[in-house]
Every structure is written in structure tokens, then in C-alpha cells.
């Protein structure tokens, strides 16, 4: 604790010194405070403390080519639904950096990504309680324009308990290189054909402590990527191989793993088409082989589906990548019906169609020899089965009617496999649902606007049908007021046909913002970037303050 | 331990509170930090090298899944041509996408389908977002002709664009 306080004053004096010397301090803070009530009907339980709070503050200081920074975090205790291992206050993130013209060196904590992240990505997603920051050193070197080399070494943050951050047992080492051929090859820079290539290798070292299995101490993973564009067509792909890595997630099998992502598309003004294909088998790569859940990931396995933002579409049956592996495809078509046409209207009309499907992949157990080498099956990339994990069809139409009115309509059809990623105990197998949304906004005058949203979700399973209405009134640039009612009118148990009524208002001053929210929130799934976390039902007051400086 | 934690939380509160009262917040008066990222053509960009021949630059953090962000960029687009063609203000807008790998491939089709003429940067692992102290998108900055940040605003509701135009010295018809 003393160390933290010393560090705190150290940085504070460093910052004030910096201001004298013409350095720059930037940063941000966020505070979420909840006062919780118990509400047995919706299943909300207040903790003994009644008041819970998460607070974060980042400070970066830079002068010339040097930069240093730290993040304070405090969970006193953590807000409802946040992972239980977040508790106490401390400074788990601090770094110093030199950023020259060709070389950048960082010591301490850092975030980094190689290629698409399929082999290595350390990042934070505060809303979900995800943070796998590296603690060690990184270097980035650009010997020539168009060539970029990166190296990282360190352990990952996996835990923050009683003010102490805990690091992974495994040590992560990685190298990555990328070459933009248009910039490197003389005379190629003006070509319509653009191409860049890259390659990475990442390895984990972890001591072994298993009596029955001979585990590999070093597990390697490597692969390459390519990015090409010709005129309006483009294609990018990455393939990563992972050596055998027996771990808790894969049930201690000695199979190798693979990950492949391919994006191809066509894009011109007013029209965009993109097809994504993804194949993952045994590709969870963690800095501790004994860990499961969302912690200690070395790599990032993105979900292949649209990120839905309307409440009923985004939080009841959301899809996240299956960690054991899957084959998935996604198609997006975006089109702007031109303005001043019969169909497009005066300002044009935006249409977006998105379809995605994810299935299990084929495991050939005949070809494997379990007795001999503990390899339990052989998998071929992109070999689908008819066992669907998730199917998602959605269509969006958006139009500006005149200077005052805007409207949009949205339709979703989901088939969700609740046996594979369980989101509810009330249903088995497939949950099919249809969702409709209408969103209308009206600009009253320069400063005042009003917006209304009506959503309906229809399903014969789980908790039945839902209806949601939202009304939002905003006064630019300072105020907003919102009322939302979610009504579970189709619940099979009549006592549980509940209104979840929630009111909120907020105030913005330049880059500071606070918000008060009072009412009932149903339990649901909070997803950011394809990673999801269940959040419990709550009843009470939430205060949020965010600021950047 | 508890006392210290409380003190600690209090210290954060005081610092946050005092900077809230201070009107020079949101990075106003500072310059762009130096972060390496890519533009939509895959070229390496150093954010500190950003310049616009002495004219102002708007920096807007957005994501494909962020509705207010897209509303903001669509709203400004309606005036972007007039701002630059008829008035010759020479304003450049850089839209920094914080979409991660899941949605990064959708950035180009979204930009094209919306018909935006902005410079697009890809901040796939949120490095620039962190360096500029952005909590959640949208957040919009204005840099003056000397590269100094003179305006910072978080969130977007209809009408906020008028404040931005005031800062830029632009008057829509």
C-alpha cells in the first residue's frame, strides 16, 4: 500500500514538474457508483455494503520523446455483476516509454496486438472486467518506411484481488514483422494493386507440475497474413497454427490447433459488400494452461456476427465465439438508395443486410491415435457440420425524411443454441426469436430533440415475448433525459410479467459527463467486441461519471 | 487498509473534481500524442505528424456499432462539402475508428455506403484512444492551425454540431 501512495505522489510531483518544463499530461477517469436494493421478484440481491463503486483513473505524462503513465483502480466493492476477483484499490498499470522516430521501447505494462489478434492481443475492455495487459517490455522498430517489427516479452495480468494485481504463471514471448510491399519496392507505390504481408511467432513458457502427463513447457504458435487490394476489391487473410497445448479448456488433449480468418469485399461509394469466413479449432491460447473463463488469453477470437445495439437484440440471446472452436460465415451488404430517387427520397435511404452462421466443425476421430499420442481427433479447416451454434439474420432501413424527422426500422431473426452457450435455464436446445424495432427522431429546434424507440421480441421459449419503449429528450450540448420500460408480457409465469422501468438523466460539460439512472434492470448479457459477460438483475440508483483531461 | 483505500478513492475524486471545475479540460491546449496506427489504405501513420497546412482539423473517435457516432459523422457530412468547397475553410476531418478485429473489416464498406469523404484511421487496439484519454465514443476534438487542441466534446446529440461549427468559424445556411 505504501508503495502505491509513494507512487501516487511520485507521479503527482512528476506531473507538476512536467508542467513547468512544458510536458503534457493527459488522461481520463471513470467512476461508477451504485446504491442497490433487494428485489426478490426480479432476482436482484443487494450486497451487505449497499453501496458499491468502481473507479479508474489513467494518467499519461509526456515530454519530448519520453512518456510515462499509470492507472489507479478501485473496487470498493465491485459493482453488480463485475467479476468477483476485482477488489480493493491499487495501481496495477504503469509504464515508461521512449518513442523515437524509428524505435519505440516500453517497459512496464503495455497493450499490443499482432495482425488480427488471432495469435496475440493484450487489451482492456473495462465494461466487461477484461484486462490482460502485459507486464514486461516491448520494442517496435521500423528500419525502413513500410517495414514494421515488434517484439514483446512479459507476463499477463489475470487478476486484481484486494488491491494486488496477479500475473500469469506463464511467460509470453512474441515477434511480429510486417512489410508494406508498395512502400518497399521502388516504383510500386503508385500501383493500383496494394499488398502487404506479415508474420508472427508467439510462445509461452510455463513450468510443469503434472504427475500423470508430460506437458510441453514451451508452446509455440506461428502464422502469416496477407492484405491485398485492387481498385474496389479487397481481400485479407490470416492463418495461425498452434502447437500441441494440453490445457484445462481442451481437456488435456495433445492436438494442435488452427485459426483462420478471411475477409473479402467490394466497396464503392454507396455500396459495400463483405464476406467473412472463419475457422477455429482448439485455438484458445492462454498464459496459464490451468485457467478457464475469460481470463489469461494470449490471443483474441473475434465473434463473427453483427454487434447489435438495440437492447432486446443485443442482450437476450447474444452470440460469442465458441472457445473450443467453430466454423463461421458472415455476409454484409450496405447500400445507399440514391437521394432524389423514387425509392430513396430527398436525402437517400440506407439499407444494411447482415447474415451470419456459426456451426461446430468436423472432428475425425478415426484418423487420430489417442492411445499413442493423446490426439483425440483430426480437424480440417472450414469443415462445417449441421450442428448450428448460432444463426443471425438482420435487416436495417434508415432514412432522413426531412430537416426535422429521421426514422429507421430493423428486423432480426435469431436461432440460438442454448445447449452450447447457455444463457438461460428456462429453455433447452434452440431458441428461435424474431425482433422488430422502430426508431423515430424529431429535431424540435437547434437545441431540443426528441427520440422514441419501440422494440418487440417474439419467442415461444425461455421467458416469452418482450416489449420495450424508450423516450429520450436531449438539449444540446448539455442535457439528456431518458425513460425506458421493458415489459416481459409473454412470461409463462404470470407473476413474472414484470415492467422493468428505468429513468436516467445526464449532463455533459465538454469532455466531462455524469449520469444518474434509477430503476430496475433485468438480468442479461453485456457484450463488447464479441466477448460477453452475464450481468445480474439490479434495482437501485447508478451514478456514472466520466472525464478526460 | 480500508482507510487508505478510502483516502485513495477520495484523492481520485478530488483530482477528477478539480479538473471538472477547470474549464481547460478534455486535453484543450495540448497537442496530438505520438501513436503509430494505420489508415484505410494500410499505410502507417504517426498521429503526431498530422497537419493540414495551417487549417483546423477535426478528430472524431467513432465505431461502426456506435449509433451517435454515425449520426454525428453523417450530420457533419451534410456541411463538409460546403465548408471546404464554397467557403474554402480547408477543414479536414479525421474519423478514428476504434473498431477491433471483429468489426474492422466493416469500416471500409460503412464509410463508402455512408458516403463519407473523411480521412479514416484504424485504432484497432485503442492505442490512440488511450493516449488521448477517451473513455467512450463519440468524442470529438478540434485542432487549430498550429496543432493545438482547442475543443473537446464527449457524446453527440442533435444540435451539438452547431457548437462545433462555431468553433470552426463556419455558419451553415
The predicted-structure confidence for A182-235, as pLDDT tens digits, reads as follows 999 998 988 999 999 999 999 999 998 888 889 999 999 999 999 999 989 999
Cell 451488404 identifies what position? Answer: A333
Q: Per the CB < 8 Å rule, is B108 touching A234?
A: yes
Ranking A476-480, B9-13, B80-84 by mean pLDDT, the lowest is B9-13
Q: Over 80: is that where the pLDDT of A50 sits?
A: yes
Chain B nearest CA to A365, separation (Å): 31
Peptide bond into A229 cis (omega under 30): no
Which class is domain A308-549? mainly beta
Say yes or no: B41 contacts chain A, CB-CB below 8 A: yes
Q: Per the CB < 8 Å rule, is A74 touching B43?
A: no
In chain B, residues 76-105 whose CB comes closer than 8 Å to chain A: 100-103, 105
Domain with CATH 2.40.230 in chain A: 100-302
Round to whole Å and give the CA distance between A365 and A345.
Answer: 58
In chain A, residues 360-379 whose CB comes closer than 8 Å to chain B: none
* Residues counted in chain B: 173
Q: Per the CB < 8 Å rule, is B130 touching A111?
A: yes
Round to whole Å and give the CA distance between A348 and A336.
Answer: 6
Q: Report the pLDDT value the prediction gives residue B4, as an integer from 0 to 100.
A: 52
Q: Report the pLDDT value the prediction gives residue A370, as an integer from 0 to 100.
A: 87
Chain B nearest CA to A428, separation (Å): 28
Chain B CB contacts of A548 below 8 Å: 25-27, 132-135, 139, 152, 154
When pLDDT is cut at 50, 70 and 90, the band that residue A293 belongs to is confident
Count the helix, strand and coil residues of chain A and give each as a percent rounded to the nearest 5: 5, 55, 35
B67: Cβ contacts below 8 Å, ≥ 6 apart: A309
Fold adopted by A100-302: Outer membrane phospholipase (ompla); Chain C (2.40.230)
pLDDT digits (tens, 9 = 90+) for A446-480: 999 999 999 999 999 999 999 999 999 999 999 99
Q: Over 50: is that where the pLDDT of B17 sits?
A: no
Q: Is A201 exposed, middle or buried (0-12, 13-18, 19+ CB in 10 A)?
A: middle
Say yes or no: B159 contacts chain A, CB-CB below 8 A: yes
Chain B CB contacts of A117 below 8 Å: 100-101, 125
The answer to whether residues A407 and A439 touch, using CB atoms and an 8 Å cutoff, is yes
The answer to whether residues A84 and A78 touch, using CB atoms and an 8 Å cutoff, is yes
Global confidence as pTM = 0.90
Give residue A436's Cα distance to chain centre.
25
When pLDDT is cut at 50, 70 and 90, the band that residue A23 belongs to is confident
Phi/psi-derived region of residue A298, left when phi > 0, alpha when psi is between -120 and 50, beta in every other case: alpha
Which is higher by pLDDT, A438 or A25? Answer: A438
When pLDDT is cut at 50, 70 and 90, the band that residue A17 belongs to is very low
List C-alpha distances in Å: B151 to A42, A279, B25, B28, B76.
44, 45, 9, 6, 16
The answer to whether residues A159 and A295 touch, using CB atoms and an 8 Å cutoff, is yes
DSSP string, A495-527: GG--EEEEEEEEEEETTEEEEEEEEEE--EEEE
DSSP state of A78: P
* Mean pLDDT of the region A71-93: 93
Domain with CATH 2.40.160 in chain A: 308-549
In this structure, the strands spanning A405-417 and A349-361 are unpaired
Nearest CA in chain A to B162: A446
Question: Which of B23, B42, B135 is facing A227, going by the closest CB pair?
Answer: B42
Q: In a mutagenesis test of the B interface, which of A27, A321, A510 is the best target, namely the one with the most B β-carbons within 10 Å?
A: A510
Mean pLDDT over the full length of chain A: 91
Question: Which of A8, A303, A508 is facing B102, going by the closest CB pair?
Answer: A303
Q: Over 80: is that where the pLDDT of B163 sits?
A: yes
Say yes or no: B33 contacts chain A, CB-CB below 8 A: yes
Q: Report the pLDDT value the prediction gives residue A1, as an integer from 0 to 100.
A: 47
Amino acid at each position: 500500500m505504501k508503495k502505491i501512495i509513494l507512487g501516487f505522489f511520485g507521479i503527482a510531483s512528476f506531473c507538476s514538474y512536467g508542467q513547468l518544463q512544458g510536458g503534457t499530461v493527459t488522461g481520463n477517469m471513470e467512476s461508477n457508483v451504485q446504491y442497490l436494493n433487494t428485489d426478490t421478484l426480479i432476482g436482484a440481491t443487494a450486497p451487505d455494503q449497499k453501496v458499491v463503486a468502481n473507479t479508474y483513473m489513467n494518467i499519461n505524462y509526456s515530454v519530448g520523446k519520453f512518456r510515462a503513465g499509470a492507472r489507479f483502480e478501485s473496487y470498493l466493492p465491485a459493482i453488480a455483476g463485475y467479476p468477483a476477483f476485482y477488489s480493493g484499490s491499487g495501481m496495477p498499470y504503469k509504464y515508461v516509454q521512449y518513442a523515437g522516430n524509428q524505435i519505440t521501447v516500453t517497459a512496464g505494462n503495455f497493450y499490443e496486438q499482432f495482425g488480427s489478434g488471432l495469435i496475440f492481443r493484450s487489451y482492456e475492455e473495462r465494461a466487461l472486467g477484461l484486462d490482460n495487459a502485459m507486464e514486461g517490455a516491448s520494442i517496435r522498430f521500423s528500419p525502413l518506411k513500410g517495414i514494421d517489427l515488434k517484439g514483446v516479452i512479459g507476463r499477463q495480468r489475470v487478476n486484481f484481488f484486494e488491491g494486488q494485481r496477479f500475473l500469469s504463471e506463464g511467460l509470453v514471448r512474441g515477434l511480429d514483422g510486417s512489410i508494406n510491399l508498395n512502400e518497399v519496392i521502388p516504383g510500386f507505390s503508385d500501383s493500383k494493386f496494394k499488398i502487404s504481408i506479415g508474420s508472427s511467432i508467439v510462445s509461452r513458457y510455463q513450468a510443469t507440475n503434472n504427475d500423470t502427463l508430460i506437458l510441453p513447457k514451451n508452446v509455440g504458435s506461428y502464422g502469416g497474413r496477407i492484405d491485398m487490394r485492387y481498385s474496389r476489391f479487397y481481400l485479407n487473410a490470416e492463418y495461425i497454427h498452434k502447437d500441441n497445448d494440453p490445457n484445462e479448456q481442451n481437456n488435456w488433449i495433445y492436438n494442435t490447433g488452427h485459426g483462420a480468418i478471411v475477409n473479402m469485399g467490394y466497396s464503392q461509394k454507396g455500396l459495400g459488400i463483405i464476406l467473412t469466413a472463419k475457422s477455429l479449432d482448439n485455438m484458445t491460447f492462454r498464459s496459464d494452461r490451468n485457467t478457464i473463463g475469460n481470463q489469461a488469453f494470449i490471443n483474441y477470437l473475434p465473434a463473427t456476427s453483427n454487434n447489435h445495439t438495440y437492447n432486446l437484440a443485443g442482450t437476450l440471446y447474444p452470440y460469442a465465439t465458441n472457445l473450443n472452436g467453430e466454423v463461421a460465415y458472415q455476409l454484409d451488404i450496405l447500400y445507399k438508395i440514391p437521394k432524389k430517387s423514387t425509392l430513396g427520397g430527398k436525402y437517400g435511404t440506407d439499407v444494411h443486410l447482415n447474415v451470419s452462421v456459426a456451426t461446430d466443425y468436423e472432428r475425425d476421430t478415426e484418423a487420430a491415435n489417442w492411445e499413442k499420442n493423446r490426439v483425440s481427433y483430426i480437424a480440417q479447416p472450414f469443415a462445417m457440420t449441421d450442428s448450428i451454434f448460432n444463426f443471425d439474420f438482420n435487416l436495417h432501413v434508415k432514412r432522413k425524411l426531412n430537416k426535422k424527422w429521421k426514422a429507421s426500422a430493423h428486423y432480426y431473426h435469431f436461432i440460438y443454441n442454448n445447449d452450447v452457450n447457455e444463457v438461460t435455464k428456462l429453455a433447452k436446445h434452440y431458441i428461435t426469436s424474431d425482433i422488430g424495432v422502430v426508431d423515430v427522431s424529431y429535431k424540435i429546434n437547434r437545441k431540443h430533440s426528441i427520440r422514441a424507440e419501440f422494440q418487440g421480441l417474439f419467442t415461444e421459449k425461455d421467458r416469452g415475448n418482450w416489449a420495450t419503449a424508450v423516450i429520450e429528450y436531449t438539449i444540446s450540448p448539455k442535457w439528456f433525459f431518458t425513460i425506458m420500460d421493458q415489459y416481459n408480457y409473454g412470461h409463462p409465469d404470470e407473476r413474472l410479467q414484470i415492467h422493468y422501468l428505468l429513468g436516467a438523466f445526464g449532463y455533459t460539460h465538454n469532455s466531462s459527463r455524469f449520469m444518474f439512472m434509477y430503476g430496475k434492470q433485468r438480468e442479461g448479457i453485456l457484450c463488447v467486441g464479441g466477448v460477453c459477460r452475464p450481468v445480474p438483475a439490479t434495482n437501485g440508483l447508478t451514478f456514472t461519471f466520466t472525464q478526460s483531461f | 487498509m480500508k482507510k487508505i483505500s478510502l483516502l485513495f478513492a477520495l484523492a481520485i475524486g478530488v483530482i477528477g473534481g478539480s479538473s471538472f471545475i477547470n474549464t481547460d479540460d478534455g486535453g484543450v491546449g495540448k497537442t496530438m500524442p505520438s501513436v503509430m496506427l494505420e489508415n484505410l489504405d494500410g499505410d502507417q501513420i504517426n498521429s503526431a505528424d498530422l497537419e493540414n497546412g495551417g487549417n483546423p482539423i477535426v478528430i472524431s473517435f467513432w465505431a461502426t456499432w456506435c449509433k451517435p457516432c454515425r449520426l454525428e459523422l453523417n450530420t457533419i457530412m451534410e456541411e463538409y462539402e460546403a465548408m471546404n468547397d464554397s467557403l474554402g475553410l480547408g477543414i479536414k476531418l479525421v474519423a478514428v475508428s476504434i473498431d477491433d478485429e471483429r468489426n474492422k473489416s466493416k469500416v471500409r464498406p460503412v464509410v463508402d455506403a455512408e458516403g463519407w469523404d473523411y480521412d479514416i484511421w484504424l485504432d484497432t487496439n485503442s492505442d490512440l484512444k488511450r493516449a488521448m484519454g477517451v473513455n467512450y465514443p463519440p468524442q470529438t476534438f478540434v485542432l487549430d492551425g498550429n496543432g493545438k487542441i482547442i475543443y473537446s466534446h464527449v457524446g453527440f446529440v442533435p444540435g451539438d454540431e452547431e457548437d462545433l461549427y462555431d468553433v470552426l468559424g463556419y455558419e451553415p445556411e
